[in-house]
Amino acid sequence: MTYLLGFRNIQKLWRSTPCFELGLATSPVSLFLGVTRNQHRWLCVKTTFPLNSKAINLLVAKTRTLKEENDSSRQVSSDHYFAAGAAKKRAHLNNNLQQRDHAVSRKRGTIEVPTTPLNSEEWDQLKEDFKGKISFEDKVISQMVRNRSSVDVAKSLLAWVAAKNNGIVGYNLLVKYLYLCVYHKETSEVIDVYEIMKAKYKCLETGANSILIRGLIHSDRWREALLRLEEIKKVTIPSKKNYNDCIQGALFHQDVNLAWSLYQELIDHNLIPLLDTLKAFFDFGKHINDDHYSNKLLDILLYLRNNQMFPGESLAHSIKTWFESIPGRQWKGQFTTVQKSGQCSGCGRVLESIHLSPEEYEFLKEKIMRHVIDGGDQYKKTTPQELKRFEKFVNSCPPFDIVIDGLNVAKMVFKNRESQTLLDVVSQLAQQNLRLLVLGRKHMLTPSSQWKKDEMKQVQEQADCFFADNISKDDPFLLYATLNSGNHCKFITKDLMRDHKACLPDAHTRHLFFKWQQGHQLTIMNCLQRSKLAFQRQMLPFETRNHSCNH
Amino acid sequence: MNVTVRFLRPFARLMVPFTPHGKKRNLYSTTLQRYMSSKVPSLPCHKDSTSPSKQLELDGWKTTMKSSIQEDGVSSVVSDKDEDVLAATREMIEMRRLLGKEVPEHITEEQLKIISECPSKSAQRKYLKYLFTKEKMKKADQAKKEKKVEAREEAKKARLVETTTDEKQQDFMFLRLWDRQMNFVMGWKGVQAMQFGQPLVFDMDYENYMKPFEIRNAVSQLLESEGWNRRDIDPFHIYFCNLKIDSAYHRELVKRYGGKWDKLLLTATEKSPVDLFPKDNIIYLTADSPNIMTTFKHDKIYIIGSFVDKNIQTGTSLAKAKRQHIATERLPLDKYLQWDLGSKNLTLDQVFRILLCMKNTGRWEEALKFVPKRKHIGYLEISQHSKEIFSKQKTTTSSFPKGSLNARTRKR
């Protein structure tokens, strides 16, 4: 069984961040590119035995290619059509983050943080030189946190503050000092500060607790991290990082049951686990030979599959090594790519098709009708009379092969008259004996400089047309007409339909919609007026995962 | 107890005279007691004249910090789980304040409840920040007031010193009753408008689309509009339509107006505007409308949807107008202004003042000065083309016999 994972290439780093608020994991799969011979590598795991129980999925991890040179056609992949807007932005952000790690950020108005511990006179001197609105100690310790100064320097600062304040150190200084200790993995120091905090304050806030959890898990008193977690729970839901730290701690100290129960808790809170958490489970699994544990790991794989999450490279490696470490099964993993035909280059199996199952299809159709077109108020996007007219029209016609968004296509070529562009597209498609439906608005019928009457007449001869009111939205009609015609029907528009996707009620439906859109949307790529139509094919012949294949 | 003032500063709020009820007092007194009971030995200053990097006393502060362990004197046995959550939340907020985060100093029980019921962390953070800023504003206001009082006292003293014994007799024409006179006049004008004024409708049908704070904002804007109307030379006759008795809107309005609500010179009704006026005379103003408003018509009834949508819900009011088959129009912002940024939905009081200005003068350039300056770069020069059209229209209208108003209106 095969998962296809988000790949990363050199020029653009596609980090597949499953962003559920936005409802899609942005992992463009460059499989539709027939022209490119991209050598991304995938992972495909084979077994020499037929598997008895579960349909396990095979992992395909696209990873960085080794051959960066002689890959001039690579740029096309980063211009994938669905990689627009937010997806593009995220990719850029990820890129920039990578670079920012190397560059040391210098902010204005900073203090030169000393590199060696100072005595009190020197601190006094520094304070005199400092001019700023906020207190000197806060500023210095913040700078230290930013520059990751050594613990001793911070300690000398705290000693100085305590000497001035009758041995009292403020809570914020303590917390930042604690952060530094945790960062430098000074466990004994962390324990000391922990004792002080426990003594001085009845309870701590979430930030300090998070840092403490992170500091305590590597010590012998790691179970106290769980108490900290309980304290966070009193006030809010802990973050996935808190859970990640606790799980890592539990696994580090061989307490598997605790780790799983924490994982369950994390899932129950509807949090999305960090990939590091999952990696920890897989890494730990190498040393364990236990059916129960491996079933749990397979559950994690199912979870990834169901939530469209893609492991990163390191996690993919962990999964591969875990599979190969199972005794008696003789799994073999390799990183491969998927060919254009949808076959895995490693074993030649065809990956799962991108088409929705009939139940999913019906479900999506009903949801689109109810949420996108109707949306609780039919007057928002259309009117009830128009909706009736449209339904009657759609049901009176036999199913279409292609539904065209007339206005979107017409405005594609800037230089041309709009009706002429539309006519070009329609006639070219009509020559292929396809049943066409052109959706538009009524103003297209009133003759003007952009809309010639005879050209519109020719369009109407070659295709069925439906004209909505000028203030209605035409996209919902487009979606419904396409869905209503059946699985073979495609639609042509450059619109990414993101606003309509956002109308859908939950992430699952949105994902179905996106999957269907990837399989059924055609986009006209050429903008030269007289050249032949060329579509960017969105249609992946398969989806980015597969059911079990047994060799 | 030799506690320095500096040390007590974070707990100065405990010194504020206030009467908490039992639960709270308990909590505070224990914290206070805890801090008081912590004996604070003063640290002897180590003066090492040796090289700083070696002989530094770095761990001394730890011992003093640890020595200040307080005996847990919290005797308040908390049995109720809700109470426990609230107490934990209160403590958490207190700790966050020590960290220098933006959280308020004092929190009431109701606010705590709201915080603990927040659906997400970010909602919690936002609400805390809101309380924090509110508190800051309050403090600043109080400081200002105190300053004013002081200044007044000073002035009084100064005047007492230089009181002159000879009191001059001065002649005045009026007594100082200006505010009252103004209110009288406005009242009369309001009554006039109620009888003969042009109706202007605020449609209150959007309550279900709004969150409580948006309703509060909308009511503030309504109050502002009503105030501008009162001061105008030729007021509208304001209608609040679809105002359901005892709805959130109604409650908020009554709360804000207090006793004046029943004496307001406007019509509040549960009916919809379609029931009150003939449909052909109604024009619904909405930014999503395809039709641009060219002139202000004195025989039409304009409707403004009293709807504050912070997360912009496009097409809600247009859908409403479509459902009732009402004509719609939008303000000609693009035609006269170089739009820069911001949504074209203006606040209720801005739209209202634009309409008032149009009613009195009929010039868009003047009326659109109420559009916030930050939203546009400046006025557009009316292009030559449109001027020509305008002059053509003029010639055609002048070809009709003078005084035939019908022809003119038909031309429109």
Mean pLDDT (whole number) for A158-174: 87
Chain B residues with CB under 8 Å of A200 CB are 65, 68-70
Least confident of A39-48, A292-301, A494-503, B210-219: A39-48
- Under 8 Å CB-to-CB from A524, ≥6 apart: which residues? A409, A412, A425, A492, A494, A533, A534, A535, A536
Q: Choose the closest CB to A167 out of B43, B48, B58.
A: B43
Confidence (pLDDT) at A252: 92
Q: Choose the closest CB to A119 out of B56, B69, B124.
A: B56
Put simply, the answer to whether B61 touches A158 (Cβ < 8 Å) is: yes
Chain A residues with CB under 8 Å of B46 CB are 120, 163
Suggest the residue from A21, A122, A168 to mutate for an interface test with chain B (most B CBs closer than 10 A).
A168
B305: three-class secondary structure by DSSP: strand
Suggest the residue from A172, A188, A205 to mutate for an interface test with chain B (most B CBs closer than 10 A).
A205
B172: three-class secondary structure by DSSP: coil
Terminal CA-CA length for chain A: 10
Q: Do A137 and A157 contact (CB within 8 A), yes or no?
A: yes
Confidence of residue A98 (pLDDT cuts 50, 70, 90): low
How far apart are the CA of B48 and the nearest CA of chain A, in angstroms? 8
Chain A residues with CB under 8 Å of B70 CB are 199-200
Of A86, A83, A90, A144, the C-alpha closest to A117 is A144
Confidence (pLDDT) at A34: 31
For the cut 60, the answer to whether the pLDDT of residue A105 exceeds it is no
CA A211 to chain centre: 27
Mean pLDDT (whole number) for A204-222: 91
Q: How far is A140 from A157, CA to CA, in rounded Å?
A: 9
Most confident of A451-455, B32-36, B53-57: A451-455
* C-alpha distances out from residue A97 to A61, A103, A487, A501, Å: 23, 10, 41, 29
Put simply, the answer to whether A162 touches B58 (Cβ < 8 Å) is: no
Of A142, A70, A155, the C-alpha closest to A113 is A142
Instruction: Give residue-wise pLDDT tens across range A512-550.
Output: 998 899 888 888 876 555 555 666 554 444 444 433 333
Q: How far is A402 from A491, CA to CA, in rounded Å?
A: 5
Among B residues 54-83, those touching chain A with beta carbons less than 8 Å apart = 56-62, 64-70, 72, 74
Of B295, B353, B292, B276, the C-alpha closest to B327 is B292
Tokens read off for A47 = 């077994």
Amino acid sitting at position A299: D
Q: How many CB atoms lie within 10 A of CB B323?
A: 14
- Under 8 Å CB-to-CB from A521, ≥6 apart: which residues? A490, A491, A492, A493, A538
Q: Cα angle at A432 between A426 and A435, to 5 degrees?
A: 65
Put simply, the answer to whether A199 touches B66 (Cβ < 8 Å) is: yes
Look at B9 and A448; give whichever has higher pLDDT: A448
The single residue listed with the structure tokens 């001394």 is B60
Least confident of A71-85, A294-308, B108-122, B295-309: A71-85
Per residue in A164-191, is it b (16+ CB within 10 Å) or e — as a string?
A: bbbbbbbbbbbbbbbbbbbebebbebbb
Mean pLDDT (whole number) for A86-91: 72
Burial class (CB in 10 A: 0-12, 13-18, 19+), B116: middle
Instruction: Give residue-wise pLDDT tens across range B96-154.
Output: 998 888 999 999 999 999 888 888 889 999 999 999 999 999 999 999 999 999 999 99
Put simply, the answer to whether A159 touches B45 (Cβ < 8 Å) is: no
Q: How far is B352 from B348, CA to CA, in rounded Å?
A: 6
Chain B residues with CB under 8 Å of A167 CB are 40-43, 61, 64-65, 67-68
For the cut 80, the answer to whether the pLDDT of residue A154 exceeds it is yes
Put simply, the answer to whether A138 touches B57 (Cβ < 8 Å) is: no
Q: Do B86 and B112 contact (CB within 8 A), yes or no?
A: yes
Confidence (pLDDT) at B44: 39
Q: How far is B326 from B214, CA to CA, in rounded Å?
A: 26
Q: What are phi and psi of B222, to 5 degrees?
A: -65, -45
Q: Choose the closest CB to A205 out of B46, B69, B96.
A: B96
For the cut 70, the answer to whether the pLDDT of residue A189 exceeds it is yes
Question: Helices (H) and strands (E) in chain B — how many of each?
Answer: 17, 8
Pairing of strands B282-285, B376-379: unpaired
Mean pLDDT (whole number) for A339-351: 78
Confidence of residue B188 (pLDDT cuts 50, 70, 90): very high
Q: Cα angle at B146 between B144 and B147, to 5 degrees?
A: 65
Suggest the residue from A165, A228, A241, A383 to mutate for an interface test with chain B (most B CBs closer than 10 A).
A165
How far apart are the CA of B39 and the nearest CA of chain A, in angstroms? 10
Taking the Cβ of residue B96 and every Cβ of chain A, the question of whether any pair is shorter than 8 Å is answered with yes
Chain B residues with CB under 8 Å of A385 CB are none
Chain A residues with CB under 8 Å of B6 CB are 165
Chain A residues with CB under 8 Å of B89 CB are 235
Taking the Cβ of residue B36 and every Cβ of chain A, the question of whether any pair is shorter than 8 Å is answered with no
Taking the Cβ of residue B320 and every Cβ of chain A, the question of whether any pair is shorter than 8 Å is answered with yes
Q: Do B97 and B103 contact (CB within 8 A), yes or no?
A: yes
Tokens read off for B384 = 């030559």
Element (H, E) at B115: helix B109-116
Of A44, A8, A9, the C-alpha closest to A545 is A44
Suggest the residue from A20, A157, A172 to mutate for an interface test with chain B (most B CBs closer than 10 A).
A172
Confidence of residue A235 (pLDDT cuts 50, 70, 90): confident
Put simply, the answer to whether A199 touches B65 (Cβ < 8 Å) is: yes
Amino acid sitting at position A324: E
Chain B residues with CB under 8 Å of A170 CB are 98
Q: Choose the closest CB to B64 out of A138, A167, A195.
A: A167
Q: How many CB atoms lie within 10 A of CB B401?
A: 7
Confidence (pLDDT) at B331: 95
Put simply, the answer to whether A207 touches B100 (Cβ < 8 Å) is: no
Mean pLDDT (whole number) for A361-371: 92
Ordered DSSP codes for B374-402: GGEEEEPPPPHHHHHHHHHHHHHHHHSPT
For the cut 60, the answer to whether the pLDDT of residue A4 exceeds it is no
For the cut 70, the answer to whether the pLDDT of residue B381 exceeds it is yes
- Under 8 Å CB-to-CB from B66, ≥6 apart: which residues? A195, A196, A199
Confidence (pLDDT) at A100: 57
Mean pLDDT (whole number) for A5-34: 35
Q: Choose the closest CB to B7 out of A168, A202, A234.
A: A168
Confidence of residue B57 (pLDDT cuts 50, 70, 90): low
* Beta-ladder partners of A464: A437
- The CATH number given to A358-550 is 3.40.50.11980
For the cut 50, the answer to whether the pLDDT of residue B183 exceeds it is yes
Instruction: Give residue-wise pLDDT tens across range A54-81.
Output: 333 333 333 333 233 333 333 334 456 6
Q: How far is B272 from B242, CA to CA, in rounded Å?
A: 5
A201: three-class secondary structure by DSSP: coil
Least confident of A158-162, A400-404, A437-441, B271-275: A158-162
For the cut 70, the answer to whether the pLDDT of residue A42 exceeds it is no
Q: How far is A526 from A532, CA to CA, in rounded Å?
A: 8
Chain B residues with CB under 8 Å of A202 CB are 72, 74, 91
Q: Do A321 and A315 contact (CB within 8 A), yes or no?
A: no
Confidence of residue B405 (pLDDT cuts 50, 70, 90): very low
Confidence (pLDDT) at B366: 92
For the cut 80, the answer to whether the pLDDT of residue A2 exceeds it is no
Confidence (pLDDT) at A109: 55
| R_g over Cα of chain A | 30
For the cut 50, the answer to whether the pLDDT of residue B263 exceeds it is yes
Ordered DSSP codes for B226-256: HHHHHHSSS--EEEEET--TTSHHHHHHHHH
For the cut 80, the answer to whether the pLDDT of residue B407 exceeds it is no
Suggest the residue from B38, B58, B69, B103 to mutate for an interface test with chain A (most A CBs closer than 10 A).
B58
Confidence (pLDDT) at B177: 86
The residues spanned by each domain of chain A are 358-550
Confidence of residue B43 (pLDDT cuts 50, 70, 90): very low
Confidence (pLDDT) at A54: 35
Amino acid sitting at position B108: T
For the cut 50, the answer to whether the pLDDT of residue B3 exceeds it is no
How far apart are the CA of A156 and the nearest CA of chain B, in angstroms? 6
Q: How far is B9 from A19, CA to CA, in rounded Å?
A: 45
Mean pLDDT (whole number) for A350-354: 76
Among B residues 102-131, those touching chain A with beta carbons less than 8 Å apart = 121, 124
Question: Which segments of A123-255 are extended strands (E)?
Answer: none
Give the dihedral sign, CA A283/A287/A292/A294. positive
How far apart are the CA of B386 and the nearest CA of chain A, in angstroms? 19
Chain B residues with CB under 8 Å of A234 CB are 84-85, 88
- Under 8 Å CB-to-CB from A513, ≥6 apart: which residues? A364, A368, A501, A504
Confidence (pLDDT) at A204: 85
Put simply, the answer to whether A471 touches B53 (Cβ < 8 Å) is: no
Mean pLDDT (whole number) for A230-252: 92
Pairing of strands A521-524, A490-492: parallel
Look at B336 and B1; give whichever has higher pLDDT: B336
The single residue listed with the structure tokens 């700790």 is B95
Q: How far is A249 from A238, CA to CA, in rounded Å?
A: 16
Q: What are phi and psi of B6, to 5 degrees?
A: -60, -40
Amino acid sitting at position B326: I
Q: Do B121 and B91 contact (CB within 8 A), yes or no?
A: no
